[in-house]
Structures are given as C-alpha cells and as structure tokens.
Amino acid sequence: MVSIYNIKPKFQAFLQPVLHALHRAGITANQITTASLALSLLIGVLFWFAEDYPVFFLALPIGLFIRMALNALDGMMARTYNQQSKKGEVLNELGDIVSDLFIYFPLIQYEPASLYLVVIFICLSEINEFAGILGKSVSGQRRYEGPMGKSDRAFVMGVYGLLCFFRVGFRTYSTLIFSVLIFLLVVSTFVRVKKTLSVQS
C-alpha cells in the first residue's frame, strides 16, 4: 500500500551522520525515545494554544518532522549499537500511542463542526497503532502498512498546521477531509490485521 513509510530506508540513510554523532556524544536509544515523547507533548501544548499565538501552528510541520527523525534514530541506534531492550521497546510503543493522542487532541477545539469525525479519527489512529503492535505479538512482525500509518498522519498534521498558519480557508471541507482520513485508517488497519493473520497461518 502507498505510504510515506516506504521512504524510510532513504530517510535513515540521510540520518546516518546524525546517528553516529549522537553515539559519539553518549546519547542512548532510550534517551532519544524519551526526547521524542517530550517533544510530542510540547507539540500538543503549542497546538492547543495556537489559536491565540498562530506561530505555534508551525510546531506541527517542524515538530513532527523532528519527531519522525527521532523515531527513526532511536531504532537505528538500538540496532546499530546493540542497545535493544524490552524497556526500550515498551517505551517506544507506548510513547508513540501517548504522543499521537496528545498531538491530535487539540483538533477537538479547532474542528467543532466535525467533532464526531475528529473523535473517530483519533480513536482509529490509536487502533491502527495497536493493530501494528498486535502483529508482533501474534506473528512476530510489527506491521507498518498504510495508508494513513503514523508517518502519513504526521504528514497530514504538518500540512494542517501550515494551512492554519497561513490562514487558508479549508474548514468548509473538514467533514470530507476527516471522512477520507477515517476511510484510509480503516483500510490500513484491515491490511495490517490481514497480513498478521497471513503470516500466522
């Protein structure tokens, strides 16, 4: 399925110099994961107050790009420098779920006309991540398939932040936009579950 996640190998290659620099500085994989979680919480707070301080809308495109880099780097650090651990895996997976919830939650105040759809979007985003984690527990393979996986949602939220910052009038189409996002999340979750069961069988 089409997903921004498919460019991850090239993104990781781009981050190699950063990876080695962080290792030389004594930074561990778990510290990177913790930094990603802290950054996500900051993004959520800034997003919540962005109506009063519009520059905070830029926390979405800029912050989410940095978060994607950190999410790639923690795994690279763990694999490259033998820092893999159960604690790191729990921190990574639970941190992603908490981070997404914190970042998406402010949508509730910005999209009152599409409130129910926003709530469904947030819930399905969490279910989608759970479906990915379920793949590992059932078949031994973490599922990342899109469309509308974590990377895709980060891209969408980044665009959302830019549109809000530049005062582009798109909210007339919010119902359609979130309906499409929900559909893609359902497809993504179905694909993940189907692939998990096919590996198991």
Preceding omega of 112 cis (within 30 degrees of 0): no
pLDDT at 48: 98
Q: Which domains does the chain have, with CATH numbers?
A: 4-200 (1.20.120.1760)
Query: Quick one: pLDDT at residue 14?
Result: 95
Dist. CA 107–CA 43, nearest whole Å: 13
Reading the chain (201 residues) residue by residue, the pLDDT tens digits are: 667 888 888 999 999 999 999 999 999 999 999 999 999 999 999 999 999 999 999 999 999 999 999 999 999 999 999 999 999 999 999 999 999 999 999 999 999 999 999 999 999 999 999 999 999 889 889 999 889 999 999 999 999 999 999 999 999 999 999 999 999 999 999 999 999 999 855
3-state secondary structure of 26: coil
Helices 59-80 and 150-165, axial angle in degrees (round to 10): 150
